[in-house]
Amino acid sequence: MSNQTSIIIPARYGSSRLEGKPLLKAGGKYIIQWVWEKASKCKGIDRVIVATDDERIFNVCKEFGAEVEMTSTEHKSGSDRIAEVAKRHSEIGYIINVQGDEPLIEPENIELVRKGVVEDDCADISTLVREISDKDEVNNPNLVKCIFDVNNYAMYFSRSKIPYERNEGKTKFYGHLGIYGYKKEALFKMTSLPQTSYEMAESLEQLRALQNGMKIKVGIVKNIPVGIDTIEDFNRFKKMVEG
């Protein structure tokens, strides 16, 4: 198997809630530039590639020195977009999918995802969770919850509160962070499989992998990355870096 490890950052211009967000500027840098710089600080990574379907993003990435590749505008998900790029590079064996809208992601978090998939022969995919105790977060369908076994392999992801507490105070809850590491073959397998019933019910792509028997290694982190989905999120981030 090829053994290069690459971070691929999918970046779309069209976003239903905040169009053109990769090109918004805060603290003198584009959002996509913030993400690329964080990714570039990671240990154990051979290259960082931005994958975009938009020439404006492509040109800006070239401007600040990033490796960037154009992809189809037809992709339904970020994993389809990164799979297109991965297919062009036989030398890449492991792929970390870092969202293009998380400018505060910690390089250490990305490194934990890398370890999960590179150092564990049984893992097809790796991801991260954080402990949550706030009742509103536990019950919020926008925050995906995850349960995992004693070896830290995911058992299920849900928008519902899982597990159901018949006996209160007996369990911890974990919220999922949207970052993934893939063995290359696992990425190609997952993106070629049809959508599954649980995936369609919950609108969660990772359930396709679980329902097809793939193993997802889970790492636990403490900090909460700040994703930029709305103009309010962006204004908060801008205030934070320009404060």
pLDDT of the residue at 71: 93
pLDDT higher than 60, residue 29: yes
Burial 174-200 (b: 16+ CB within 10 A, else e): bbbbbbbbbbbebbebbbeeeeeebbe
Q: Are residues 51 and 95 in the same domain?
A: yes
> One-letter amino acid identity for 171?
T
Predicted TM-score (pTM) of this structure: 0.92
> Do 37 and 91 reside in the same domain of the chain?
yes
Is 124 found in the same domain as 86?
no
- Residue 42 included in any domain: yes
Q: How many CB atoms are located within 10 Å of the residue 68 CB?
A: 23
pLDDT level of residue 230 (50, 70, 90 thresholds): confident
Domain assignment of residue 237, yes or no:
no
Q: Please check whether residues 38 and 131 belong to one and the same domain.
A: no
pLDDT category at 75 given cuts 50, 70, 90 is: confident
CATH code assigned at 219: 3.90.550.10
Quick check: 15 pLDDT over 80? no
State pLDDT tens for residues 83-120.
Answer: 999 999 999 999 999 998 899 899 999 999 999 999 99
Q: Is residue 132 part of a domain?
A: yes
Q: Is residue 91 part of a domain?
A: yes
Q: Tell me, yes or no, whether 121 and 46 share the same domain.
A: no
- Tell whether 131 and 174 lie within a shared domain: yes
Q: In the structure encoding, which two tokens stand for residue 154, read together?
A: 């995911």
Residue 154, domain member (yes or no): yes
Among residues of the chain, what percentage have pLDDT more than 70?
Answer: 99
- Number of domains comprising the chain: 2
Mean pLDDT over residues 112-136, rounded?
96
Domain that holds residue 126: 106-225
Whether residue 114 is contained in a domain is answered as yes
The pLDDT tens digits for 146-171 are 999 999 999 999 999 999 999 988 89
Residue 47 β-bridge partners: 6
Distance CA 67, CA 13 (A): 18
Looking at the structure, do residues 91 and 121 belong to the same domain, yes or no?
no
